[in-house]
Amino acid sequence: MPVKSYREAITETLRQEMRRDKRVILMGEDIVGGMGGSSGVFEAAGGTFGVTAGLAAEFGRNRVIDTSITESAIVGAAGGAALTGLRPVAELMFIDFIGVCLDQILNQQAKFRYMFGGRCTVPVTIRTLMGAGYGAGPQHSASLHGMLASIAGIKVVTPSNAYDAKGLLATAIRDDDPVIFCEHKFLYGESCEVPDGEYLIPFGEANVTREGNQVTIVAFSRMVLLANKVADKLAKEGISVEVIDPRTASPLDKDSILESVEKTGRLVVIDEGGPYCGMASEIASLAACEAFESLKAPVQKITPPHTPVPASAELEQEWIPSLAKIERAVRATLSANL
Amino acid sequence: MPVKSYREAITETLRQEMRRDKRVILMGEDIVGGMGGSSGVFEAAGGTFGVTAGLAAEFGRNRVIDTSITESAIVGAAGGAALTGLRPVAELMFIDFIGVCLDQILNQQAKFRYMFGGRCTVPVTIRTLMGAGYGAGPQHSASLHGMLASIAGIKVVTPSNAYDAKGLLATAIRDDDPVIFCEHKFLYGESCEVPDGEYLIPFGEANVTREGNQVTIVAFSRMVLLANKVADKLAKEGISVEVIDPRTASPLDKDSILESVEKTGRLVVIDEGGPYCGMASEIASLAACEAFESLKAPVQKITPPHTPVPASAELEQEWIPSLAKIERAVRATLSANL
Amino acid sequence: MAYDPLVLLDAYRRMRAIREFEERMRREVQAGTVPGFVHLYCGQEAVAVGMCMHLRDSDYIGSTHRGHGHCIAKGCDIGEMLLEIYCKQGGLCNGKGGSMHIADLRKGMLGANAIVGASPPIAVGAALSQKTLGTDGVAVSFIGDGASNQGTVAEALNMAAVLKLPMIFMYENNGYAEFTGAGYHLGGGQIAKRASGFGMPAEAVDGVDFFAVYDACARAVDRARRGEGPSAIEAIAMRWYGHFEGDMQLYRDPKEVDRLRANSDPLKKFEERATAEFGLQADELREIDEEITELIDDKVAIAIAAPKPPREALYTDVYGSY
Amino acid sequence: MAYDPLVLLDAYRRMRAIREFEERMRREVQAGTVPGFVHLYCGQEAVAVGMCMHLRDSDYIGSTHRGHGHCIAKGCDIGEMLLEIYCKQGGLCNGKGGSMHIADLRKGMLGANAIVGASPPIAVGAALSQKTLGTDGVAVSFIGDGASNQGTVAEALNMAAVLKLPMIFMYENNGYAEFTGAGYHLGGGQIAKRASGFGMPAEAVDGVDFFAVYDACARAVDRARRGEGPSAIEAIAMRWYGHFEGDMQLYRDPKEVDRLRANSDPLKKFEERATAEFGLQADELREIDEEITELIDDKVAIAIAAPKPPREALYTDVYGSY
Ligand SMILES: Cc1ncc(C[n+]2csc(CCOP(=O)(O)OP(=O)(O)O)c2C)c(N)n1
Ligand SMILES: Cc1ncc(C[n+]2csc(CCOP(=O)(O)OP(=O)(O)O)c2C)c(N)n1
Ligand SMILES: [Mg+2]
Ligand SMILES: [Mg+2]
């Protein structure tokens, strides 16, 4: 099977979905680039991270639309277009920018179907970028998927590898509800086998990336890679760790998590979102409410501290959950003897 | 001691703090009202819910400032003014409107101190209004204190009675960090004894509103009233319920909650915020991570469903946590036998 | 401009329906039968109707918290509107939206909106659909004077201009945003001038004068249908009643309101000119009046008696699939 | 207008410092010594300096992601700036802000800002402080052409106009927002015209011409200090380099850049006129050049060698108290 990067998988999916359905359009800042420039180059950018490269050439500027720096209008218009016959895929360049356009999600797209009594569909996808580690500082490094998942009426997708990115993005675009598709900066270069053909991965179905029976790790997005590494390392010592990648922060595949915790009795949650009112807390809460009887040890949450992301690369590395911290947490939960 | 309503207590605190410190100013939409009107009435509103009534007459329109409908500018300017010598108290008419101005909190005020290396203070208070039950529909009824609490760098206050409202608001205004002060619509008319003089209630110190040793209830804002009622009712049956009102969603008085759970071994969390990635999950998560050894039963979360607030009054009542549901949860946790 | 008498009769019917609807809502609010908050449109009838006379069901409008007039002008069913305002089953939103979120996509009505300034970007999205799907349809955004200050409006203007969308920004300057006059809250004082700064034709018209609104809208809608891009219209027409029904209006000189009723009644103005210049007969108008009164009587009674949404409705329609 | 030679020398020193600083940053980025993203200000020196020459430490400026020029023009210490850009201890933000969040409240510099459009409301707040505290101080917001489309900017304009704040909106139209030309992204094409729609004087000036900028700023700052309210200036000056250092600039004709360097060098233009008309001597300028080169050499070396922030710094200064 061909090996593709996360970035390539996303680009390919956008292309396939646009070929498949004329109603799919893309919009965002510099997703093509070069409008109004002096060089006349048709595609001067293809997205800040190159994800939309080549699409304007195939589908034209009427379906791959460069916008001004107006995120409320971008996200809002995508919602309005979704109500009226298109299936827009809007790009919010960084998830940090959610603060300038949140209302169009929180009070508009997320609520249209409910407050209009079910008499509409809202097939909008917002592609956005999360994650620290680039030295981009406090305003370009956040992971806010937990904040978004708290909103009823939207779905939040956090693919951790190229294969999932393709199947989940196709599902997002074909879904009739608003979807926030959170790409991770650090995963763009990660590759795996990805079929050329179309396929869908349903929302709310976790992926068990490592099977095990002593400890359950639930991890999101890039953190799945770290969790896998720790699981592999510990496997060599005979410690059997199950790693669950929920793939969608909302809807959440509670059953897979609960089943695993019932089996292992020990839970470690790893998330690059904050430690407070985020996905890590949500998963810990799920265990406390619905798997309490199986738990043999306190839940361990590994997240960044409750601070902004510092600009200094050294501090930033300290901020991001590390292999060492995860390993320590797994060992700690195993040694907890109640 | 004089009895005052929650509304009166807040108005009185604003007055006292403005007398005490000239740098305290108020700004918001129609917090005075009547500018540009044909009647010439000096104060045509005093706030949509009358909380700022009478203040412009005493302090003048230069310190009680009516603004246009521009929440990003209101909240943003309050942040800028806080950096440069004022102690602004901005009003965000409904917490639902956070989506149109979140960036000024999320990436600006919350991060100023950190990203400027500690070389500033940000003494801004945002007063806002939460809560369902008014038939105001999906866009004016939310309780988003959990979403805000997820943001590092701000403090989130959720007073449940007039006495606390006064002491916490004074603390908020004198605090050098950004504070979101969440008033609840349904509490404005609730009264209790409130001293005339100034006093401060520190952030991060919970109030134990009922002492008990069989079950711990943690409740926020209006839900504290319901929790107290249930506790009182069950007390007559000999069931001993402890009710903890954290008073501030951030910082959270973990110690009081953990101590209580250590004592009772049973935890019910009640919040009008959502069931997903909100305060209820956070408290449940806290118990799972830090009080696991004491827990004798699954944590019970009582929140609204993961839906918007419907306009229909009957559906809305069904949406809000009820006495009956709380009572049921308390009984359920007591009967859980592991 | 020449006016087809059938068009004028239709316009009258819609304006009268709005007036009657809102006056009735006012009495019902006072009688305590209506849940939630209700913002009345009286005094502004010519704006919604002057615009919507040019629109088809397949054209879109984005509305405001003061949306009843827009709904009626755009052809929403009055019975279903009332069911919704009473939060009943079978209402336009099955009782989950209420007055401030009433919507009807079949009629191209994208929703009232209780977030001031949220609607223009959504309407721009509808215009984008029209353009992308290659229709000659248009989208219209109704925007209050207070709303015109919201940043989202500027962004919507810019996007419509840059993408040359078939879009009309229909400003309704009714003199007040809640309890604050436009003379205070509106930097520069002229909304039309602001819109023209974004590179589109923009004009101010007397919003009490149906004919003036109708003509300006004809130009703007035609331009949009021809693919020549967006325009803006500022229609100036004071609201007759409070911000919401129940507002004591301390900010307003009661004489201002008396003067409005006496001199600025869009229906009266319309009737005078339509009968004097365009051959409409007073008694055909009275007939319409009666029909409408009867219709609204009926539909209010039905709405009040209608069943509430079932309990389970609380949980439905959050998602299409989850 | 007459110009004090001392003022002109000072202006030259600041412009030269910006140029030298940015050219050096460019080389350092290419050499790989600089962390994070760096947006250079070359070509726009006359804008920051033409404005800041009128400002005191107690006046405030709100900056952008392209903030080095604003910092230097406003008097920030170059050594501490470099420490910050290198994310070192003792930097203006103790290494936690970096190039895109550099701030110095002692100098009235309210921070670079990596959220496009977030800064204007903050600067309006500083103007509100000046007015409320009764100073004759002002606040200035630097705003890119791309940023000018953000809704927050419209809101800031309106608030400054309504509250009659001592505020200047200093638009920097450098022709591009990232990889998109202003000819595309800017509905209406003229930022100044937009600002005037909010009821304030607004003019466009040649941002390469220090004297033109300086004169326009004098009028705007004086007006603000006199309590007459806000104004806007659109200074047009193309950026010489890419959006960030490393940008391949596919959207730009290389000849455009050559022409800029040849014909639109703010420093060259300044020197020509200042020596020809106002008596500055070329050799005193060369002396300044040397001093600055030496200073920046020193400070870059110090910054590169300086210690990183300690681990514990990760957890400090989130709150004053928690
Ligand atoms: C974002 C937001 N801010 C404030 C409000 C509260 N509010 C509701 S209507 C209104 C006034 C709107 O004035 P205008 O746009 O002139 O419309 P009008 O009521 O005059 O029709 C305000 C401030 C709101 N609903 N949403
Ligand atoms: C809210 C937000 N949207 C988008 C970006 C990404 N971005 C950073 S700089 C920039 C272009 C800004 O253009 P302009 O305002 O003209 O400033 P210039 O770079 O030309 O100085 C963009 C789109 C951002 N940082 N913040
Ligand atoms: Mg109005
Ligand atoms: Mg630019």
Please write the tens of the pLDDT for every residue from C227-281: 999 999 999 999 999 999 999 999 999 999 999 999 999 999 999 999 999 999 9
Average pLDDT over residues A58-63: 98
Residue C44 and residue C207 in contact, taking contact as beta carbons nearer than 8 Å:
yes
- Amino acid B338: pLDDT: 58
DSSP C14-71: HHHHHHHHHHHHHHHHHHT---S-----TT-HHHHHHHHTT--TTSEEE--SS-HHHH
- Amino acid C41: pLDDT: 98
Residue B130: HSE in the Cβ half-sphere, 13 Å Cα cutoff: 28
Domain B3-193 and domain B207-335 have a common topology? yes
- Amino acid B336: pLDDT: 83
Asked if pLDDT for residue A338 goes beyond 70, the answer is no
Distance of residue C54 Cα from the nearest chain A Cα, in angstroms: 19
Which tokens sit at D16?
């030269």
Ligand closest to C47 (CA) is 1
Please give the CATH topology (third level) of the domain spanning D5-315.
Answer: Rossmann fold (3.40.50)
- Among B97, B115, B276, the residue with its CB nearest the CB of A250 is B276
Please give the CATH topology (third level) of the domain spanning B207-335.
Answer: Rossmann fold (3.40.50)
pLDDT classification of A336: cutoffs 50, 70, 90: confident
- Among B103, B153, B279, the residue with its CB nearest the CB of A308 is B153
Please give the Cα distance from C35 to C70 (Å, whole number): 20
Q: What angle do CA B84, B87, B90 make, to 5 degrees?
A: 110
pLDDT classification of D126: cutoffs 50, 70, 90: very high
Please give the Cα distance from A142 to A221 (Å, whole number): 13
Helix (H, G, I), strand (E, B) or coil at A24: strand
- Amino acid B337: pLDDT: 67
Q: How many helices (H) and strands (E) does chain B have?
A: 12, 14
Cross-chain Cβ contact A137/D114 below 8 Å: yes
Which tokens sit at D136?
């004759």
Please give the Cα distance from A49 to C239 (Å, whole number): 50
Instruction: For B184, list phi and psi in degrees, rounded to 5.
Output: -110, 125
Which tokens sit at A41?
């180059």
Residue of D nearest to C153 (CA): D151
Residues from chain B that touch D95, judged by Cβ atoms under 8 A, are 117
Which one of B32, B68, B69, B141 would you pick to mutate in the ligand 1 pocket, going by the greatest count of ligand atoms within 8 A of its CB? B69
Please give the Cα distance from A244 to A263 (Å, whole number): 13
Average pLDDT over residues D54-77: 98
- Amino acid A200: pLDDT: 98
- Amino acid D1: pLDDT: 72
Please give the Cα distance from C150 to C65 (Å, whole number): 15
Q: What residues in chain B have per-residue pLDDT under 50?
A: none
Asked if pLDDT for residue D165 goes beyond 80, the answer is yes
Q: What residues in chain C have per-residue pLDDT under 50?
A: none
What's the whole-number average pLDDT of chain D?
Answer: 97
Please give the Cα distance from A213 to A336 (Å, whole number): 16
Cross-chain Cβ contact B76/D152 below 8 Å: yes
Cross-chain Cβ contact D149/A68 below 8 Å: yes
Average pLDDT over residues A326-334: 97
Show which residues on chain D lie within 8 Å of chain C, measured between beta carbons.
149-155, 157-162, 184-190, 193-200
Burial grade of B336 (CB within 10 A; 0-12, 13-18, 19 or more): middle
Q: In Å, how far from its chain's centre is CA D13?
A: 15
Helix (H, G, I), strand (E, B) or coil at B176: coil
Asked if pLDDT for residue A259 goes beyond 90, the answer is yes
Query: Is the pTM higher than 0.95?
Result: yes
Q: Read off the DSSP letter of residue C104.
A: B
Cross-chain Cβ contact C158/A80 below 8 Å: no
Q: Read off the DSSP letter of residue A135.
A: S
- Amino acid A337: pLDDT: 67
Please give the Cα distance from C161 to C166 (Å, whole number): 9
Please give the Cα distance from D153 to C187 (Å, whole number): 13
Residue C166 and residue C227 in contact, taking contact as beta carbons nearer than 8 Å:
yes
ipTM of the complex: 0.98
What residue spans define the domains of chain B?
3-193, 207-335
Please give the Cα distance from D93 to D86 (Å, whole number): 11
Decide if A145 is catalytic: no
- Amino acid C2: pLDDT: 83
Residue of C nearest to B137 (CA): C97
Please give the CATH topology (third level) of the domain spanning A3-193.
Answer: Rossmann fold (3.40.50)
Please give the Cα distance from C11 to C5 (Å, whole number): 10
- Amino acid D2: pLDDT: 83
Q: What tens digit of pLDDT does each residue of B182-208 get? A: 999 999 999 999 999 999 999 999 999
Q: What tens digit of pLDDT does each residue of A62-87 get? A: 999 999 999 999 999 999 999 999 99
The CA–CA distances, whole Å, from C114 to A91, A107, B103, C40, C64 equal: 26, 9, 21, 14, 7
Instruction: For C236, list phi and psi in degrees, rounded to 5.
Output: -100, 115
- Amino acid C190: pLDDT: 97
Average pLDDT over residues A160-189: 98
